[in-house]
Structure 1
């Protein structure tokens, strides 16, 4: 259990950090660029980020949070798992389709505001999952 909880905390922290970095650094920096530069850079980021390290963290964070919730069955652990899943679902249902539309010629004006808003949601749920995981106590050995 201790290894699972440690892994869940690590992955949740890394993933929340990625989303926070986009919220406070990447998107504000891109906001100042013209449409062509914005679209080119965002599309490149969306290609490069799909790599084994990111995917391990991206899928590992919710999987491990759910595992902790299922193993401990405490309210805090269960909420951590639910928030981890919500973070994943927001990305799959909202951010990825927006990325795909931008990549296939979509307009920045239709992409930027909703993508940023959904990123704020997944940042908040990701941080919430992390906080819950940090509050969870591992059972005594």
Structure 2
């Protein structure tokens, strides 16, 4: 069984879990908080997630999938690669600008957190997170099937 395909599958599964956690736990919990708590907590999580573990997981998946596709070219693997790229594009185009604007708003103790939260566009962030979760989960499932076929 190709090690690169295993690595691609694991990395994709891990990043899928992160996105899913935001969809089913973190954002619903934040929805129930007041504006200051929301801004404070989101800023803290967004700063904390930029770490080597997450960056390897998030940025390592697509190249690992591409390498697996080169070593074992299948429609499943290349479709997973396309979905992984879509996840990166969604993150860069939608999530990073919203996250960066929220971080740049400043210290929640000194800003109008209601205005900052409204400008963040929570529903838009969450909708696109659901979409990248679905794309990432589909890529993970395709890679899992590719793994089972590679072991036959």
Moved over 4 A (4+): none
CA deviation vs aligned residue, 1:33-62 (integer Å, no higher than 9, x gap): 011110110011000000001101011111
Cα contact 1:66–1:80 (8 A) shared by 2: no
> 2: distance between equivalents of 1:59 and 1:44?
21
Which structure has the larger Rg?
Answer: 2
Query: Relative contact order (C-alpha < 8 Å, sep 6+): which is higher?
Result: 2
> 1: distance between equivalents of 2:80 and 2:44?
32
> 2: distance between equivalents of 1:50 and 1:38?
19
> 1: distance between equivalents of 2:19 and 2:49?
12
2:117 to 88, 101, 108: 108
> 1: distance between equivalents of 2:29 and 2:61?
27
TM-score (norm 2): 0.86
Between 64-73 and 118-127, report the one with greater CA deviation: 64-73
> 2: distance between equivalents of 1:97 and 1:67?
29
Structure 2 match to 1:138: 150
Unaligned runs of 5+ in 1: none
Alignment pair present for 1:126 and 2:136 = yes
> 2: distance between equivalents of 1:97 and 1:37?
20
> 2: distance between equivalents of 1:133 and 1:49?
25
Structure 1 match to 2:111: none
Cα contact 1:4–1:64 (8 A) shared by 2: yes
TM-score (norm 1): 0.93
The RMSD of aligned alpha carbons is 1.5
Structure 2 match to 1:48: 48
Using the TM superposition, give the Cα deviation of residue 89 of structure 1 relative to its aligned residue in structure 2, in angstroms.
1.3
> 2: distance between equivalents of 1:14 and 1:2?
19
Structure 2 match to 1:78: 78
Using the TM superposition, give the Cα deviation of residue 99 of structure 1 relative to its aligned residue in structure 2, in angstroms.
0.1
Unaligned runs of 5+ in 2: 106-114
